[in-house]
Amino acid sequence: MAIKVTNAHLDAIKQHGERTYPYECCGFLLGTMQDDVNVLVEVYPAENEWDESIRKVETLGEGIPAAARDYRKQESHANRYWITPEQYKRADTYAGAHGLQIVGYYHSHPDHPAEPSGYDFDHSCFANQSYVIVSVESGKAGALNSFNKPDYEKFEPEAILLEA
């Protein structure tokens, strides 16, 4: 798998991450799939609607170990994002109206590497969708990587193909 993008797409993702720093940004990748390549046509920003009630709902009844629960107490806009079903529906409707589909998602990692976390794995996209992560260090966007989860078992790095 790979994702084909333009410099303008990459700049839009990086700028979104810088604007929201020190909090995580998030959004949709709209485009088409052609021969196992997600062709990005538009970056569609979303609002990070993470709040304390999300954490409480997510941890109810999970039976997770105390150490994991203690870590979850540290969750905030700085290290989590949440896209509501309403935002998803708006993005999906917009994509369909423009002959596109949701081919993936993006978000930032403030002051952390552009690598998937365990939370990202547990809450990630569908198989064969791109999952772009940009690292934003001290307010400045840095590394940007894309991943794919073809078999739902693990993330695999995917090539970012730059289109003129």
**List of domains in the chain:** 2-50+79-162 (3.40.140.10)
For residue range 14-52, what is the model confidence (pLDDT) as tens digits?
999 999 999 999 999 999 999 999 999 999 999 998 876
Give the per-residue pLDDT at 54. 54
CA dihedral 125, 84, 52, 66 (to 10 degrees): -30
Give, in order, the Cα–Cα distances in Å from 61 to each of 16, 65, 142.
35, 12, 38
Residue holding tokens 């078992």?
153
For residue range 48-89, what is the model confidence (pLDDT) as tens digits?
988 765 554 444 334 444 444 344 446 665 677 888 899 999
- Name the maximum alpha-carbon separation found in the chain: 50
Rounded to an integer, what distance in angstroms lies between the CA atom of residue 56 and that of residue 102?
A: 28
**E strands present in the chain:** 2-5, 26-34, 37-46, 101-110, 130-137, 140-148, 156-162
